[in-house]
Structure 1
Amino acid sequence: MATDMRYGTPLGPKVDIVDGDYDALKGAGIVLITAGVNEKTGGATDRNDPQGRLKLLDKNAEIFRDIVPRIVHAEPNAVLLVVTDPPDPLADVARETYHGAAVLSTGTYLDSQRFRVHLGKHFGVDAAHVEAQVIGDHGTSQVFLWSSARVGGVPVAALLEARGERMNERRQKLENDVRYANITIIEG
């Protein structure tokens, strides 16, 4: 995971990304927690299962209850960033496991980026020119903020109307593309 993340270092300010045992966390400002059972291993790849990523919660909560105290013991001042699915409930588990730890979650950040990419692709523009957010849970119950979605400052609804597209049809497809992007990636 650390090796994969290092490839993104040219995109931001200087940062040291290291991997190792708990001792390697000494002096860390932020610790990304990616440990746990993933969707494929945990059987959370059925688009018709309303539980989605929540299916992974019990097993991953058990793992978090084991590792969070070790992480905080190694570096009590580090901010913990939960990436493991489902991130929001696991951030709560991390907070409950070690009171006082600063814990953040990736939440729907990735979903918002996926929403921007899919809208950009649909309209033939770079995702950097798309403003769109997904809120709520990183999973099947997420909420897409269509009313504030814009491409180049123009509301998406107006762009769809100008193209003669029906909002409801486009909305359903784009939401499903974003909501199940993880499964599409796993399927190859």
Structure 2
Amino acid sequence: MTQPATVPSRPSFARSLPLVVVMGVSGAGKTTVGRLIADRLGAPFADADAFHPASNKALLAAGIPLGDTERAPWLAAIADWMTAHAAGGGVVTCSALKRRYRDALARTARRALFVHLDGPAEVIADRLAHRTGHFMPACMLGSQLADLEPLAPDEHGVRVPVDHPARQVADLALARLPCPHGTGAACPR
């Protein structure tokens, strides 16, 4: 009697999800695009603004840029979220303006992929001018642009222009992101 051929089990969809960090300056669309990416992947979503302690929000609301000391507990909280979601995947927003911040986040989850939402300062300034209900004032854009260190070629991630509607930006990000499990293919959508 012939034994039936065994079919290799396919990893569950949730286990194959990437851990995506949507990064960029304030007003780039991190929250909107991040939610769209998470929805398309069926992944959990977290907004980095929720990880800021009240003291950081007060400084930013007063137009005072955060230094590394103020950013440290915020980045640690984001890293904790990433560690908790590394196995199953997820999407988190974080300005991640400097390479050292991205390196710290990447060390917590080796499968992390960065989506750098990038665009002309005028486009982002216009968005900020029309944004309501956010603790960070539009006047902070200049300091963020000055701090921004774009993704380097050796970092795991992609740059996506933001001068399109949010759904298009999310589609473009997903099309450009390689899956973190080494297939070289685009991430499942």
Shorter-chain TM-score above 0.5:
no
Q: Which has the larger radius of gyration?
A: 1
Q: TM-score, normalised by structure 2?
A: 0.33
The structure richer in helix per residue is 1
